[in-house]
Amino acid sequence: MLDDVSALLAAFGAGAFLSLLSVVNPPSTLPMYLALAQGMDERARKRMARLACIYCFYILVVSLFVGGVVLQMFGVSYGALRVAGGIVVGILGHGLMYDRGPIRAPDKQEHPPANPTFFPLAMPGITGPGTIAVVIGISTEIRELGTWSAQVMAYAVTVAAMVGVCVIEWLLLRHAPRVSDRLGPVGIEVMTRLSGFLLICVGVQFVASGIRTLVQGG
């Protein structure tokens, strides 16, 4: 029993936390946040950071509990979903490693969004397609667990991992000016490249898991 609990904690607790932390890549969101918060007082900046992370948590939870169900309505199997999600995550990781720099804020000449805290900061700045793909992929693995109690425990530790990632993101945004100065452009770039490599690994794992499920008839 203890071995089963430990395996669940490792797979869906630590695994979800590291995967989400890599795809969210909190340091890469600092430039966008600082650009959007330009001209705000400290209270408004902290409020934006708090609301953005709350929005992110809502997006993650909805993706976990509803995303897989919605795709099932369209007849998408768990195996196909994992393969597709792995490809999306792998492409995102490749972009972080080689092509794309930190996400920037919209051009000042463009029409400003009505709620910049949600769009573009919370989505897609912090939680984009790659994040949602990771979460839905995790949800398919949870649904294939053998017992109801195991599924409940897996959902619980996955939500706890989401809370942890959102708290880290909130702390970074709350202290964004100091963190940005400490890391500098080089530090943020190093973190982005490392996150890209980890995302490629996560994507490959999702693809391998999806192919295995498809071969077994899922």
Domain ranges of the chain: 43-215
Residue 95 in tokens: 């972009």
Give the residue-averaged pLDDT of 181-201.
83
User: What is the pLDDT averaged over residues 5-29?
Assistant: 86
Q: Is the pLDDT of residue 91 over 60?
A: yes
What residue spans of the chain are helical by DSSP H?
2-8, 15-24, 30-36, 42-62, 68-73, 78-94, 129-143, 148-174, 176-215
Token pair of 209 as six digits? 């898991």
Give first-to-last CA distance, the chain, whole Å: 27
Structure tokens at 36: 């959007």
Residue 161: band (very low, low, confident or very high) from pLDDT cuts 50, 70, 90: very high
Q: Which residues of 29-61 are buried (b: 16+ CB within 10 A; e: fewer)?
A: bbbbbbebbeeeeeeebbebbebbbebbbebbb
**Mean per-residue pLDDT for 151-170?**
95
34 within 8 A of 177, measured Cβ to Cβ: yes
- pTM for the full predicted model: 0.80
Calpha distance 100→121 (Å, rounded): 17
Nearest CA to 33 among 62, 19, 53, 18?
53
Question: Residue 120: is the preceding peptide bond cis (ω within 30°)?
Answer: yes
